[in-house]
Amino acid sequence: MYTPPFTITSKSIDLISKISEKIGEMNFLTSESQHVNLRKKNRIKTIHSSLAIENNSLSIEQITAIIDGKRVLGAPNEIQEVKNAVQAYELLLTLDSTSEKDLLRAHGIMMKDLVSRAGKYRNDGVGIFDGKEVVHVAPPAERVPLLMADLFEWLKTSDAHPLVKSCVFHYEFEFIHPFQDGNGRIGRLWQSAILKDWRNIFAWLPVESLIKEKQAEYYSALNVSDTSADSTFFIEFLLGLILSTIEDILESHVKVTVNVTQKVTVNQQKILELIKENPHITQNELTQAVGIARKNIVSNMKKLQEAGLLLRHGADKNGWWEVKS
């Protein structure tokens, strides 16, 4: 079986550890019903960024209008790209990331009415250009089915961490460039598919928005790994983007939570959310749910009371807490 060449460096291990730690905070924040709007907002950012990388000029506002079923003025092919991407990302939670058949189905949806071979591998040669300069010549078309079969077999059987597997697959997929068009957007979608099979939260993280912001660095990382015939550098780059995406969302959430004039830490926000759900929750129960020492629970609750964000009713065991907005 083919094994893609890469090395798990100390930098990658550190990034994986930090991402795993932050995912716990993200799971809490996005599991609440009131965060449906956050998920929708992130999904729109994902679609907008992924298509903007492919030179789609429609704005976030226009994409939101299309999703809401409103008429939008724009190039027909760009509107079709948005409609296709919306359908493809709606399928994300149901896609089997280890299924080559599902990948072809996703491409068929993503590229419907845009290319002649939607949902089928290319039958001719392709290259990646930077202006007029060829920066990558993909393997011949006749090798694509075997290369993709090998890549999916590795994905199914590898014991590498899912974060690493998602990055390696992303790199190898772009190297093979199996489709006539749409390789970039499908490669990014499939990394999310692999990650959501590990942690469901990745179905809603707009990693594509940071790829868009760091597009030059993204292509440079691909080029470095091409030159070395090893995806290690690309793995480190993408893990850094994933961590930055999570940190940006957490920071944004803290800024808008409860009272915009107060600074609330992530752990304090967890305490407030848990109390909202159960005003009679005990400090011992909070200790277990938040995952920090009881003395830190007490300290954080005192700070929230001093800030006027938390109010205690009754002093005995029948008392209860109130979150003030």
CATH number of the CATH domain containing 154: 1.10.3290.10
Q: Does some domain include residue 5?
A: no
What is the pLDDT at residue 136? 76
249 and 283 in a common domain: no
Q: Does some domain include residue 54?
A: yes
Q: Does some domain include residue 287?
A: yes
Contact indicator for 173, 151 with CB cutoff of 8 Å: yes
Nearest CA-CA partner of 161 in 46, 8, 320, 325? 8
Domain that holds residue 197: 10-254
The tally of domains found in the chain comes to 2
Instruction: Mark which of 223, 254, 285 sits at the end of a domain.
Output: 254
Question: Which of left, alpha, beta for 161 (phi over 0: left; psi -120 to 50: alpha)?
Answer: beta
The DSSP 8-state label assigned to residue 35 in this structure reads G
Kindly tell me the burial class for residue 95, based on how many C-beta atoms sit within 10 Å of its own C-beta (0-12, 13-18, 19 or more): buried
Q: Does some domain include residue 64?
A: yes
pLDDT along the chain (325 residues), means of 10: 89 95 72 60 88 90 89 92 93 94 97 95 83 78 96 96 96 95 94 93 85 89 92 96 88 53 77 88 89 90 85 78 80
Kindly tell me the burial class for residue 113, based on how many C-beta atoms sit within 10 Å of its own C-beta (0-12, 13-18, 19 or more): exposed
What is the pLDDT at residue 324? 78
246 and 112 in a common domain: yes
Q: Does some domain include residue 259?
A: no
- How many of the other CB atoms lie within 10 Å of CB of 109? 18
Tell me the CATH number at 296. Answer: 1.10.10.10
162 and 281 in a common domain: no
What is the pLDDT at residue 224? 93
Which H or E run contains 57? none
92 and 55 in a common domain: yes
284 and 153 in a common domain: no
116 and 72 in a common domain: yes
What is the pLDDT at residue 261? 44
297 and 235 in a common domain: no
Q: Does some domain include residue 1?
A: no
Long-range contacts of 18-21 (CB under 8 A, 24+ apart): 18/243, 19/163, 19/239, 19/242, 19/243, 19/246
What is the pLDDT at residue 27? 63
Instruction: Mark which of 233, 254, 275 sits at the end of a domain.
Output: 254
292 and 250 in a common domain: no
Instruction: Mark which of 254, 280, 296 sits at the end of a domain.
Output: 254
132 and 247 in a common domain: yes
Tokens of 111: 């590229």
288 and 207 in a common domain: no
134 and 78 in a common domain: yes
Q: Does some domain include residue 3?
A: no
Interatomic CA distance for residues 141 and 136, integer angstroms: 14
193 and 76 in a common domain: yes
Summarised one tens digit per residue, pLDDT across range 105-148 is 999 999 999 999 999 999 998 877 766 777 778 899 999 999 99
The DSSP 8-state label assigned to residue 259 in this structure reads -
What is the pLDDT at residue 320? 86
Tokens of 3: 């094994």
Q: Does some domain include residue 159?
A: yes
